[in-house]
A and B are shown apart, each in its own frame.
Chain A
Amino acid sequence: MAEEKENITGMHDDKFLAPENKKRIVIGPEGEEIHVDPLQDYFCTERPQTSEPRNKTVEKFLNWARAESLWVLGFGTGCGSIEIPPLLSPRFDAYRFGVAMRATPRQSSVIIISGYLAVKTLKRAIRSYEQMQNPKFVIALGSCTINGGMYWDSYNTINRLDHYLPVDVYVAGCMPRPEAILSGFNKLKERIRAGRAEGANEYITNLDWYKANQKKIIKDWNMPDYNW
């Protein structure tokens, strides 16, 4: 049974860090001291790498395949999520276009930021996005993701999504109707097939810029810089 020693000097004194994420020394069963730094130990510390495209023909085939099976992370961040269920229901039936919902980020290739992002949700959205497998794409719905929308003067919602995540396609509307979201998917497919949907690589290339933007507004940054 591990025992915890508390308040060891020289520890991380970030006031926002949750207790389970703080650096601490654990006494092992045989009395040995184990230094634990959850943010370092539980996540990969290596800086992520961009994935280089393979040869042209293979890449073309892969892009076609990627475009035709868009698995969407079921994470509705704002009002827009009200139009996602109709999209998947009989009338619009997005499954026939290769769009399917997935429950976990590990299985998904698309994240729909469906409208405004409260700062608290932005943190979760970033974590979800970073846990998704490459290549990954972002669809932004509604005015809110473009320039703040309804909540342009709110103290708790971001104004421009492209400062925090690399966005592939924007769909206008407040909220966009399911039909408009479908055309958003069509546009995304086009973009993937043309090989322009390099959001994941872009994110990694400009990681420092994105992280700086994110850290500027997420004041209680208590997670590793890259969650994988």
Chain B
Amino acid sequence: MEALLDRLKTRFGVFDFEQKKTYQSFCSVDKLSLVSLVTYLKATEGFKVLVLISVVDWIEDGKFQITYLLNNPELKTDIGIRTFISRDNEEMESIHDLWEHAPTFQREIREMYGINFPGSPRVDESFLLEGWDDIPPMRREFDTKKYSEDTFFPRPGRKTNDPAEYMKQKLYPDEK
């Protein structure tokens, strides 16, 4: 793992290297070097399996983190590659030509986060949702509870009391 990291550092400038488990580590890389790094890992280092592509929304930093988790089935090691893209310019290079199932991930991300992957097959088709006209639901600013209450109106007639507040009303209502 250490040797691999050195190679990656010099060639692609990865940073924030973290090894959590003996067989799993994470590192970050610049958005522009991502595809070449992934291609290199697949072709040369034996990370032949794409486990997943996942997005984390760091709304407070104005960034999306895209994680590509690759697996080397021979050495039985995982490497997670994080890359950060700006929330204002949500576009990422597609890796659909490297793995056959990558388009599925990208299609879901496009729908759930609104991140575009130009060139990825069927990326603009709706995937899980049908007729969705709100902001992409997995973005942090989308409030699912509010949306649900507005759209699907829960059954009325329920009322709850906070024990402390209720005891106050009952036992010492005069105090502010």
Contact = CB atoms under 8 A, between A and B. Distances in A.
Interface in A146-160: 146-148, 152-160
A120 B129 contact: yes
Contact of A147 (B133, B137, B155): B155
Nearest to B158: A147
A19 B132 CA distance: 18
Contact of B148 (A120, A159, A163, A220): A159
A137 B50 CA distance: 47
A214 to B, nearest CB: 12
Contact of A153 (B131, B132, B144, B153): B144
Contact of A154 (B132, B148, B155): B148
Interface string B127-153: 011111110010000101101110111
A171 to B, nearest CB: 17
A142 to B, nearest CB: 14
Nearest to B151: A217
Contacts of B149: 153
Contacts of A220: 130-131
Interface residues of B, number: 19
A119 interface: yes
A82 B152 CA distance: 25
A219 B133 CA distance: 8
Contacts of A217: 151-152
A155 B147 contact: yes
Interface string A197-228: 00000000000000000001111100000000
Contact of B152 (A120, A123, A158, A219): A158
A152 B129 contact: no
Contacts of B153: 159-160, 163
B148 to A, nearest CB: 5
B129 A160 contact: no
Nearest to A120: B130
Interface string B100-136: 0000000000000000000000000000111111100
Contacts of A157: 152
Contacts of A163: 153
A12 to B, nearest CB: 16
Nearest to B149: A153
Contacts of A147: 154-155
Interface of B: 128-134, 137, 142, 144-145, 147-149, 151-155
The 8 lowest CB-CB distance pairs between A and B, nearest first, are A220-B131, A219-B131, A159-B152, A153-B145, A147-B155, A120-B130, A155-B144, A155-B147
Interface of A: 16, 119-120, 123, 146-148, 152-160, 163, 216-220
